[in-house]
């Protein structure tokens, strides 16, 4: 079945991360089953979502894994001129939520699996589909647990996030955290007798910005990124009830996106120390003053050596001469860290279209991805690969 036809089916499942993806997983499982390919379905704890893993070819050998997430970001508040959950084909472009990020790749990978089911492979092809990637690479972790317990690990993983079919070897890691700043409420007319939690929060934001300045000036650098150093950013601040009440609570959501040479836990330790210092200074006014920091999500960066065999292998599939690193995070860092599987990010479409209204992938990009996977199938049929 042609990848574009499959993409049309996939876009029609509104798999926004907050909703179930089971209808899509059921469609994929039925499609594979009709071609004689069994699959494992790993449900989330509440049973509303699932990962899917399938192998085509010999069961006793390590293979090449194609990885994609099935969830998409919401369309809320976006000005779509085309139906988001119905594929529109126009001027060589295929529109719909997830076309670029990343149902286009999932469709190509499925099409390749169906072709593989009619071939005799000497090295297996694996398909790994996840849920809840868009909210912090959550779902794939149970799939990785399953693969960790399996007798063999994949030789290579291709994560098909949109890179315009360029071969990407890395992305930054991410640590997301919430700072909960506690002061003491009071009448605003007597503000100096209370402790304003927003003021505490602002002092902590200053500490975050000082740390950002230090990292930009003295931190590790990786010139392959547009922003070559580790970044710190506050994305949300919640506080206050009314102007005449000194607020007693201020919550800040912030993140650290680190280059490979920086350790986000160490950076966070420094920020915790700064928070403790700010709270201690305020405790003379209100003994209950505190800034507590909770980690809300983390995933590791990806840093596959550009001169590795895995990179050379994928370059030979696409015909690329060079490699890039991408700004956005992927599940690749987890595959690399937790399975030791060399991982590359390479997929159709561009993240310039991801997460936006009228998202699209071009037919040309889909064809280039199909070509890469056809080349892969030829390799898998020809050899029992020991390393990628």
Q: Which residues bind Zn ion (CB under 5 A)?
A: 101-102, 161
Residue (102 or 317) nearer to Zn ion, CB:
102
Task: Report the chain's terminal Cα–Cα distance, integer Å.
Answer: 27
Find out whether 184 and 286 touch, Cβ atoms under 8 Å: yes
Q: Which residue is nearest to Zn ion (CB)?
A: 101
Find out whether 188 and 243 touch, Cβ atoms under 8 Å: yes
Q: In the bound complex, what is the minimum distance in angstroms from residue 303's beta carbon to Zn ion?
A: 19
Residue (211 or 331) nearer to Zn ion, CB:
331
Residue (134 or 222) nearer to Zn ion, CB:
134
Helix spans in 151-283 (H): 197-218, 264-282
How far is CA 204 from each of CA 159, 229, 260, 278, rounded to the nearest angstrom? 37, 21, 25, 7
Residue (165 or 271) nearer to Zn ion, CB:
165
Q: In the bound complex, what is the minimum distance in angstroms from residue 317's beta carbon to Zn ion?
A: 21
DSSP 251-313: EEEEEEEE-TTS-HHHHHHHHHHHHHHHHHHHTTT-TT-EEEEEEEEEE--EE--TTSHHHHH
User: How far is Cα 28 from Cα 337, in angstroms, rounded to an integer?
Assistant: 28
Q: Strands 167-171 and 302-303: what pairing?
A: antiparallel
Q: In the bound complex, what is the minimum distance in angstroms from residue 379's beta carbon to Zn ion?
A: 26
Q: In the bound complex, what is the minimum distance in angstroms from residue 300's beta carbon to Zn ion?
A: 16
Residue (219 or 347) nearer to Zn ion, CB:
347
Q: In the bound complex, what is the minimum distance in angstroms from residue 102's beta carbon to Zn ion?
A: 5
Q: In the bound complex, what is the minimum distance in angstroms from residue 187's beta carbon to Zn ion?
A: 49
Residue (8 or 101) nearer to Zn ion, CB:
101
* Greatest extent of the chain over all pairs of C-alpha atoms, in Å: 80
Residue (130 or 248) nearer to Zn ion, CB:
130
User: How far is Cα 273 from Cα 239, in angstroms, rounded to an integer?
Assistant: 23
Instruction: For residue 145, report the phi and psi dihedrals to the nearest 5 degrees.
Output: -55, -45
Q: In the bound complex, what is the minimum distance in angstroms from residue 84's beta carbon to Zn ion?
A: 16
DSSP-based three-state secondary structure for 114: helix
């Amino acid at each position: 079945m042609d990848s574009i036809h499959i993409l049309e089916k996939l876009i029609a499942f509104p798999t926004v991360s907050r909703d179930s993806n089971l209808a899509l997983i059921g469609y994929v499982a039925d499609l594979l089953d009709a071609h004689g390919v069994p699959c494992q379905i790993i449900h989330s704890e509440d049973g509303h979502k699932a990962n899917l893993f399938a192998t085509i070819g010999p069961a006793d050998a390590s293979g090449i894994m194609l990885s994609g997430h099935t969830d998409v970001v919401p369309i809320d508040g976006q000005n779509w001129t085309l139906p988001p959950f119905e594929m529109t084909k126009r001027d060589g472009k295929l529109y719909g939520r997830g076309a670029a990020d990343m149902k286009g790749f999932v469709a190509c990978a499925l099409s390749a699996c169906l072709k593989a089911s009619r071939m005799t492979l000497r090295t297996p092809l694996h398909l790994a589909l996840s849920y809840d990637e868009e909210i912090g690479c959550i779902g794939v972790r149970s799939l990785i647990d399953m693969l960790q317990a399996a007798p063999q690990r994949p030789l290579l993983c291709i994560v098909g996030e949109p890179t315009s079919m360029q071969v990407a070897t890395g992305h930054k890691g991410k640590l997301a955290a919430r700072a909960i700043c506690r002061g003491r409420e009071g009448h605003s007319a007597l503000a100096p007798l209370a402790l304003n939690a927003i003021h505490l929060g602002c002092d902590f934001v200053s500490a975050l910005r000082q740390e950002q300045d230090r990292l930009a000036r003295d931190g590790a650098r990786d010139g392959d990124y547009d922003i070559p150093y580790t970044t710190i950013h506050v994305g949300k601040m919640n506080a206050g009830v009314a102007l005449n009440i000194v607020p007693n609570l201020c919550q800040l959501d912030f993140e650290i996106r680190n280059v490979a040479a920086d350790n986000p836990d160490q950076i966070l330790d420094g920020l915790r120390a700064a928070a403790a210092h700010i709270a201690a200074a305020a405790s003379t006014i209100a003994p209950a003053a505190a800034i507590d920091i909770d980690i809300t999500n983390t995933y590791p960066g990806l840093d596959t050596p550009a001169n590795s065999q895995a990179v050379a292998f994928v370059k030979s599939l696409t015909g690329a001469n060079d490699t890039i690193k991408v700004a956005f995070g992927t599940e690749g860092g987890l595959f690399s860290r937790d399975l030791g599987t060399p991982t590359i990010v390479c997929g159709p479409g561009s993240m310039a279209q991801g997460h936006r209204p009228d998202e699209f992938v071009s037919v040309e990009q889909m064809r280039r991805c199909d070509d890469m996977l056809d080349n892969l199938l030829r390799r898998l049929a020809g050899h029992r690969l020991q390393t990628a």
